[in-house]
Each structure stands twice: as C-alpha cells, then as structure tokens.
C-alpha cells in the first residue's frame, strides 16, 4: 500500500522528510544545501517572537528565504500568546516572493536559559498555555502552524500526549516529537515507543525525530512509530548527503556515498552561501563547527578539523580541505 502524501497547506511531499531546526546550525546556507540533497522541508533556527515584535534586524535575517532554498518553515519561540501572535504578524509583513510554507512554534528546546525563561520545553508544563499559544498563532496568519515537542520535562513528567493533544485542540496542522525528555538533552537513546503513543493519540500528522542517522534507521523509526514523516537533526550537520541516503532507502534504490572531493566541494559551497548572507568574518566564525564535520572520513581528520576551527577566512578553510584531498590521494 502506497504511503499517503504528507501535506502542509497546499504543499504535498512524498515522504515528509524534514531537516530539524537547530539553533546555530540551520541557517539559510545549511537549509539550501540540505534541500538540494533531498530534504523535502527545512526548518529555520528558532527566532524570538519578542524580537520580531521589535523588528530586530538580526532576528529578521534569520528568516531569510531565497529562490532555490526549497520549502521552508520558520520556527519561533516565546511564552505569551499575544507576543507570539504579534511576532508572526510582524514576520509575515516582511515576506517577499519566497515565503515560508508554515510557522513552527518551539516547545521542546532544552537549553537552561530558554527553559528558565518559561519558553521552549518549559511550555510543556502547561498544556492549557500550549493550546492558547497555537490558537493565537492560528489567528495571526493563514500559514499552517506546527509545534515541536519533546517527551516531557523528565521521566517523572512525560506529558507529550497531553501537550500534543492541546496543540491539536488549538489548531496545529501537525506536531513533531523528539524522543527524549528535556532532562536528557541529547544523551541516551531516543524513545520511539513513546512517539508511537503520541501518534496513536492524535488525529493530525506526527513527525518522528531522534536518532535518525542512516537510511536504515529512517525506515526503522517510521516502522516503530507509525509516524507520518521523519525529522533529521544533528546527523545532518556536515552531512547533507544523509538525506539522499534516506530517500534511497525509502524508495528502495541503491545509494552511492559522496567522494571526498564532493564532500569538500559541498562544504565550501555551504560556507560561500553563508558568507554571501553574513559577510566573511561572521560566516567563517559561525560555520567552523559544522563545516569541520564535513571532514569525517578524511585521513588526519582531527588535525584538519582543528585547522578549520581556527580559520578566519574562506581561504583558510579552502586550504584545509585542499590539504585533506592531497592527503587522501597520497
């Protein structure tokens, strides 16, 4: 039986294959590259609703979408329904020809600073507030509203089902569930069975997230959870080719990994896009970590990563990758 298409508003996708939102990583450069290699939908870094209300230019820059970036969802965070609604209104007023296909509300960020401020995963302590936030967001835009959750605050407070039902009641188009609690951060193993419990409790689609690192694990998470789609996060940093691998697995096609030369070329292209958006100094500084991960599999990768981490110009990074290719061909 053929899987039903995953739809977001008027947009339909064969698999519902998402690049997860990751603060400090999913800038336009990474989203653009991941889309090219198979991500059907990409999600932006989380953007402060409060900063949007004040029309902060740096914040607005995070929502930039250009032609060729592919279907994009903008993720925002906040804790006050009115502020989130006003932030969305401010954001939508800036959209040009390349607009997002939806707005996601972060309700799963485990970072202590965000949690202590009552935002991100802290919202899971109040399903009533979740419903109010989603309802307010729905009233501020015609775009579909989605929510990203975790399993709960900790093992003693696993509340994903109740929170997801609250989001559904508020009018969410779908929810994404990371199979870890806030207390786990990114440690341990994602609990796919608990994602399945959420899926079985909702009428709206559910996206499964957590420990998808290969084509094999992508099939496994869908089989284990019954989810309508899947979301790939940390494993895609420095490895956009993972989306191609996953698509091949889902479609029963053979997968050919990229050569080291191709990895180097794509790394430098991602950095080039970031430079065009942010300027060289900022882009190189902010991209060091993820660009260095492209060196996985290269001979002497550790030393070369160290070189990338101390780079300050595009030329420095290019030289590091040139050295990596030379070492590989010796």
Catalytic residues: 109
Helix (H) or strand (E) holding 273: helix 260-278
Distance CA 149, CA 36 (A): 27
**Between helices 301-309 and 280-292, what is the axis angle to 10°?**
160
Distance CA 263, CA 273 (A): 16
Q: Side-chain half-sphere of 45: how many Cα atoms within 13 Å?
A: 17
The answer to whether the beta carbons of residues 4 and 197 sit under 8 Å apart is no
The answer to whether the beta carbons of residues 44 and 20 sit under 8 Å apart is no
Cross-strand partners of 20: none
Distance CA 114, CA 108 (A): 10
The answer to whether the beta carbons of residues 27 and 47 sit under 8 Å apart is no
Where does 178-259 have alpha helices with state H? 192-201, 215-225, 241-251
């Amino acid at each position: 039986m053929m899987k039903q298409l995953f739809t977001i508003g008027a947009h339909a996708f064969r698999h519902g294959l998402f690049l997860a939102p990751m603060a400090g990583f999913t800038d336009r450069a990474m989203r653009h590259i991941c889309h090219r290699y198979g991500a059907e939908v990409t999600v932006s870094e989380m953007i402060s609703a409060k900063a949007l209300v004040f029309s902060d230019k740096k914040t607005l820059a995070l929502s930039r979408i250009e032609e060729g970036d592919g279907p994009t969802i903008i993720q925002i965070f906040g804790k006050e329904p009115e502020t989130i609604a006003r932030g969305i209104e401010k954001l939508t007023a800036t959209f040009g020809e390349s607009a997002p296909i939806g707005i996601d509300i972060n309700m799963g960020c485990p970072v202590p600073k965000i949690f202590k401020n009552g935002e991100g995963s802290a919202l899971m302590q109040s399903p009533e507030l979740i419903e109010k936030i989603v309802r307010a967001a729905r009233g501020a835009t015609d775009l579909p509203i989605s929510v990203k959750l975790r399993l709960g605050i900790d093992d003693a407070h696993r509340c994903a089902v109740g929170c997801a039902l609250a989001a559904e009641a508020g009018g969410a188009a779908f929810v994404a569930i990371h199979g870890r609690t806030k207390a786990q951060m990114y440690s341990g193993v994602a609990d796919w069975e608990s994602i399945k419990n959420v899926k079985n409790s909702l009428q709206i689609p559910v996206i499964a997230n957590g420990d998808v690192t290969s084509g094999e694990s992508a099939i496994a998470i869908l089989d284990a959870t019954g989810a309508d789609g899947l979301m790939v996060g940390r494993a895609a940093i420095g490895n956009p080719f993972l989306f191609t691998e996953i698509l091949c697995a889902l479609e029963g096609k053979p997968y050919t990994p990229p050569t080291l030369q191709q990895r180097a070329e794509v790394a430098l292209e991602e950095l080039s896009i970031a430079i065009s958006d942010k300027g060289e100094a900022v882009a190189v500084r902010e991209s060091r970590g993820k660009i260095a991960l492209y060196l996985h599999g290269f001979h002497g990768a550790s030393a070369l990563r160290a070189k990338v981490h101390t780079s300050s110009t595009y030329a420095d990074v290019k030289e590091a990758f040139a050295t990596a290719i030379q070492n590989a061909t010796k």
